[in-house]
Structure 1
Amino acid sequence: MNLTEHYNQLYKTSSETIATGKYVIDSEIKNESDSRFGITLLIRPNDEIKANIQHFINELKKVEPEQYFYPDSDIHITVMSIISCSTEFNLNMISPNEYIELICRSLVDVNKIKIHYKGITASPSAIMIQGFPSDETLNNLRNRLRENFKNSNLQQSIDSRYEISTAHSTIMRFQDKLHDPKKLIETAAKFRDYDFGEFDVKSIELVYNDWYQRKSTTRVLGDFGLR
């Protein structure tokens, strides 16, 4: 997949959808009884990157302060959704150590992953930072995970919703009616090609998480350091 083309197309269609008021509100964000949980392998950006992202978030808040914005602690890139969030899943159903062992085998020879956060894109219900891996290491890791999980007896739902191929981070979700959709897109457009920075991935986390990756409900099951 050409990531630039993918992000561009996503932005074009979604920004038009939002600006014309046809955006989608995520009604589950405020649902305190939301019990959708899953298992995710993820990457977290460094503090410098997160500070740059918060600068962007602060500009969005000026326009739409009542929407849902990701705090630093929750910003992430999904490497692989191993078990998609569902009300039917809980941690007692699996043995985390078996997942850790398989992930360790998948990470053999993975030395370095570098991500460049540049520009923003959108979906009909969210605003996202565009992430660009510097080479094929992340994609190769994903393919190895797919193969190893397919050949195991471990519970998994990899690629059941869609086949992950991007490296974006969601930073804003629509939880209420937007005050001024056009102004929101005008503000976001100023950061369309903004350089949020580049970072070397120091570790990859395996977490038990809710739909929004809230720190308060997330449990780290494994932390895999990269050389």
Structure 2
Amino acid sequence: MDLASHYNNLFTESCEKISNDNYVIDTQIDDLCDNRLGITLLIRPSEEIKNSIQLFLNELKGIDASQYYYPNSDIHITILSIISCYDGFDLNNITIQDYVAVINKCITGLNKSVINLHGITASPSAVMIQGFPSDTSINDLRDNLRSAFKQTTLEQSIDKRYSLFTTHLTVVRFRKPIKNKDLFLKTLHKYRDYNFGKFEIKNLELVHNDWYQRAEFVKTLSDFKI
């Protein structure tokens, strides 16, 4: 299935679930005892694009401020969750340079792809900005990383949750029952084909992160120039 069709099917199915109160509320967002941590390879859009996204989020906040809205500092696209967040993960138990070495090998010759952020989609638990890469470089990199890490004995949990092939940005998570649900859905449809802009991938970040990539818990482990 192509990326546009995947996003479209996800949006249609999720809006129906939201309309029927079958959406998923994340009960751990406000849990002060949530110690799930891991490491992730990611990219971040430009500040201009983040600010464009905030205009959309501000409109949703005006309808229902009780949901979890991502600040600019936390907005990202996951290239690969190398160690998915889990309770008890300790950075001291791995050797960061071993992971950096694998990634450096895999990014050799990587193109400076452009990602076009056009429209929004949703899941039963979140709202996302749709990302469309200009070529196959990101998914080629993902495949190379999958193959390279499988050939090592390094701790990793790649694709344990699901096999990632999209370039979306999660910007809202549901943490309370949605207020003004009809207007909330109407606003999602309003931004269904909104152009948030495009940016060139100039670097990747390997980070130690919590489940929500909150800046206060994120530590940059390495930065990779493309």
| Separation in 1, partners of 2:182, 2:81 | 33
Q: Deviations over 1:119-172 (max 9, x none)?
A: 000011110000011100111101110111011111100000000000000000
| Separation in 2, partners of 1:111, 1:3 | 20
Q: Deviations over 1:63-119 (max 9, x none)?
A: 111110000000000000000000031211101111011100000011312111000
SS of match in other structure, 2:109: coil
Q: Residue 78 of structure 2 aligns with which residue? A: 78
In structure 1, runs of 5+ residues without a counterpart are none
The normalised TM-score by structure 1 is 0.98
After TM superposition, the structure 1 = structure 2 runs for residues 35-54 of structure 1, keeping only pairs within 5 Å, are 35-54=35-54
| Separation in 1, partners of 2:107, 2:16 | 40
| Separation in 2, partners of 1:93, 1:53 | 37
Per the TM alignment, residue 179 of structure 1 is displaced from its structure 2 partner at its CA by 1.2
| Separation in 2, partners of 1:43, 1:136 | 16
Per the TM alignment, residue 177 of structure 1 is displaced from its structure 2 partner at its CA by 1.4
Q: Residue 200 of structure 1 aligns with which residue? A: 200
Q: Residue 107 of structure 1 aligns with which residue? A: 107
| Separation in 2, partners of 1:190, 1:219 | 36
| Separation in 2, partners of 1:22, 1:182 | 14
Given residue 66 of structure 2, which amino acid in structure 1 is its aligned partner? E
| Separation in 2, partners of 1:122, 1:57 | 14
Aligned residues: 226
SS of match in other structure, 1:105: helix
SS of match in other structure, 1:217: coil
| Residue 117 in structure 1 maps to residue 114 in structure 2 | no
| Separation in 1, partners of 2:32, 2:98 | 31
Instruction: Work out the percentage of aligned pairs sharing the same amino acid.
Output: 50
Per the TM alignment, residue 12 of structure 1 is displaced from its structure 2 partner at its CA by 0.3
| Separation in 2, partners of 1:20, 1:195 | 28
Whether the 8 Å CA contact 1:14–1:123 is kept in 2: the answer is: yes
| Separation in 1, partners of 2:32, 2:116 | 35
After TM superposition, the structure 1 = structure 2 runs for residues 84-163 of structure 1, keeping only pairs within 5 Å, are 84-163=84-163
The normalised TM-score by structure 2 is 0.98
Given residue 148 of structure 1, which amino acid in structure 2 is its aligned partner? A
| Separation in 1, partners of 2:111, 2:222 | 18
| Separation in 1, partners of 2:124, 2:154 | 34
Q: Deviations over 1:196-225 (max 9, x none)?
A: 011001110000000000000001000001
| Separation in 1, partners of 2:138, 2:108 | 13
Per the TM alignment, residue 33 of structure 1 is displaced from its structure 2 partner at its CA by 1.0
SS of match in other structure, 1:215: coil
| Separation in 1, partners of 2:16, 2:116 | 26
Q: Residue 28 of structure 2 aligns with which residue? A: 28
SS of match in other structure, 1:115: strand
